[in-house]
Homo-oligomer: A and B are copies of this chain.
Amino acid sequence: MVFSMDQVSAGDNEADRSGPLSAVLEQQIEHLILSGELGPGVRLNEIPLAGRFGTSRGPLREALRGLQARGLVVVGANRGMYVRAISPREALEIYDLRAAVFGLAGRLLTDRVTDAMLDRLSGFLNEMDRLAAARDLEGYYHVNLDFHEFLVTSAGNSLLVEQYKSLVNKLHLCRTRGLVQAGGLSVSNREHREMVDGLASGDRYRAQEAFFRHVERAKLRFWSTVEGQQGIIQS
């Protein structure tokens, strides 16, 4: 008997349908990590953590193993588990992977893009232009997220979506202060226009390259802020 069971990805909130408790814990802890409530480097003590969720250590350990395999938690032999802390050097590697995956989204999207999608993308661009002019960092940030999410999910490759989100999540484990500055908004949106223009041109390579370079330039902006903060980076 073949099976194509889809995952438990059902709602991620509350005391919902108790699927495997370990899966619920995994999502809860992931949320705690990504929300910053459990910052990078924080030690994850089993007993208090299990008590916090009202479970025993068994399911908790299973959940942490899952997070470990997904790169959000690291373990030291007999030394416990910690929220992964990503160095700026590792962040650069992640940016490169993200650029490649995002570039693939552009390449794939070129062959499936419709006029309706191009209209919607234009809407995103205009909205972001407006917010950038108004210096509304918060608003720009969210529309920017929606814009990227729309692009990635429209590429028609579910594995791509998964990998992209995983890379973005890992990037959040590198603590740097103030990644966005108002000056960068208009620059960023110009890159967005190049991406959409690439899609509209129907040239896969041009679209792929526009998508790739958008992330690559984000990497450079990230690196410049890191250089500004610390004089020397330890590998």
Across-interface contacts of A160 in B (CB, < 8 A): 93, 96-97
- Residue of B at shortest CB range from A100? B104
Extra contacts, 4 of them, besides A20-B75, A58-B58, A99-B104 (Cβ < 8 A), are A3-B76, A19-B77, A62-B62, A63-B65
Which chain A residues in 71-120 approach chain B with CB under 8 Å?
A: 74-77, 79, 82, 85, 87, 90, 93-94, 96-97, 99-101, 103-104, 107-108
- Bound form: Cα–Cα A94–B160 in Å: 8
Across-interface contacts of A187 in B (CB, < 8 A): none
Across-interface contacts of A96 in B (CB, < 8 A): 104, 108, 157, 160
Across-interface contacts of A85 in B (CB, < 8 A): 2-3
Does A163 reach chain B (CB closer than 8 Å)? yes
Minimum distance in angstroms from A144 CB to a CB of chain B? 22
| Copies of this protein, total | 2
Q: Which of A90, A97, A103 has the most CB of B within 10 A?
A: A97
Q: Which of A93, A158, A163, A205 has the most CB of B within 10 A?
A: A93
- Bound form: Cα–Cα A158–B87 in Å: 14
Cross-chain contact B159 with A93 (CB below 8 angstroms): yes
Does A61 reach chain B (CB closer than 8 Å)? yes
Cross-chain contact B5 with A74 (CB below 8 angstroms): yes
- Bound form: Cα–Cα A67–B68 in Å: 11
Minimum distance in angstroms from A12 CB to a CB of chain B? 16
Does A8 reach chain B (CB closer than 8 Å)? yes
Does A221 reach chain B (CB closer than 8 Å)? no
Minimum distance in angstroms from A25 CB to a CB of chain B? 11
Across-interface contacts of A70 in B (CB, < 8 A): 69
- Bound form: Cα–Cα A159–B93 in Å: 7
- Residue of B at shortest CB range from A97? B159
Partner of A97, one of B3, B94, B157: B157
Cross-chain contact B90 with A159 (CB below 8 angstroms): yes
